Structure 1
């Protein structure tokens, strides 16, 4: 299953602790503790949007099919088209890191409730 279809997106991201899904902004949105960490667009071209660190941002946006995500914080969110050279394993790793970055901003109590170390 691909991260670029709803079933694959739900299966891969649903395995992370504390994840919930909503449909908003014409996308399937994954949240942890009520905060967005990744989304899958519903419209072509299909794309994933996720949070990343500064170094990852520079590396990723140098690739074809990857750009700064519109409407998200500058230099912290990328939009990755299905045609990008990133493999499924790389995307899973980057999205896992996005989950960790967003979860780190939650309160210690909420992280404990969600089962996040």
Structure 2
């Protein structure tokens, strides 16, 4: 999945907000909590997102996927390269990142946003 497709997946999620931070990174948040960060400034460009703890090591063993700088301790990965994940798996991982973050929101905020329950 290329970076533009990944951004489109993030934009389509209920309550997702897009913002530019840190001098050019596109941050996708739900309820003011980040679930993905797209960076076109890297070489190559990439997207970072949260994964489940049990998937972290498995994913970071793959070519094109590494622990996300500054966020690896929170189990975030950085995917740099359109061929590191196929489109379906990349979309599923972005959705799961959204769900993991959404699940940490208050029940009231979850209800008000009308997003999927994790």
TM-score of the two chains, using structure 2 as the length reference: 0.88
Q: CA deviation at 1:73?
A: 4.5
Q: Matched residue pairs, number?
A: 114
Q: Structure 2: any 5+ residue segments left out of the alignment? A: none
> 8 Å contact 2:6–2:90 — kept in the other structure?
no
Q: CA deviation at 1:13?
A: 1.4
Map 1:43-82 to 2 at 5 A.
43=41, 44-74=43-73, 76-82=75-81
RMSD after superposition: 1.6
> 8 Å contact 1:65–1:81 — kept in the other structure?
yes
Q: CA deviation at 1:33?
A: 0.4
Matched with 2:26 is 28
SS at 1:74 equivalent: helix
Map 1:1-117 to 2 at 5 A.
3-5=2-4, 8-25=5-22, 26-43=24-41, 44-74=43-73, 76-116=75-115, 117=117
Moved more, 22-31 or 76-85: 76-85
SS at 2:34 equivalent: strand
Distance 1:3 1:13, change over 3 A: farther
TM-score of the two chains, using structure 1 as the length reference: 0.88
Moved more, 96-105 or 17-26: 17-26
The CA deviation string for residues 83-113 of structure 1, in whole angstroms up to 9 with x for no partner, is: 5531111111001000000000000001111
The CA deviation string for residues 46-75 of structure 1, in whole angstroms up to 9 with x for no partner, is: 111000011110110010111111111515
Q: CA deviation at 1:38?
A: 0.4
| Bigger RCO of structures 1 and 2 (CA < 8 A, at least 6 apart) | 2
Following TM superposition, the consecutive aligned residue runs of length 4 or more in structure 1 with deviations greater than 6 angstroms are none
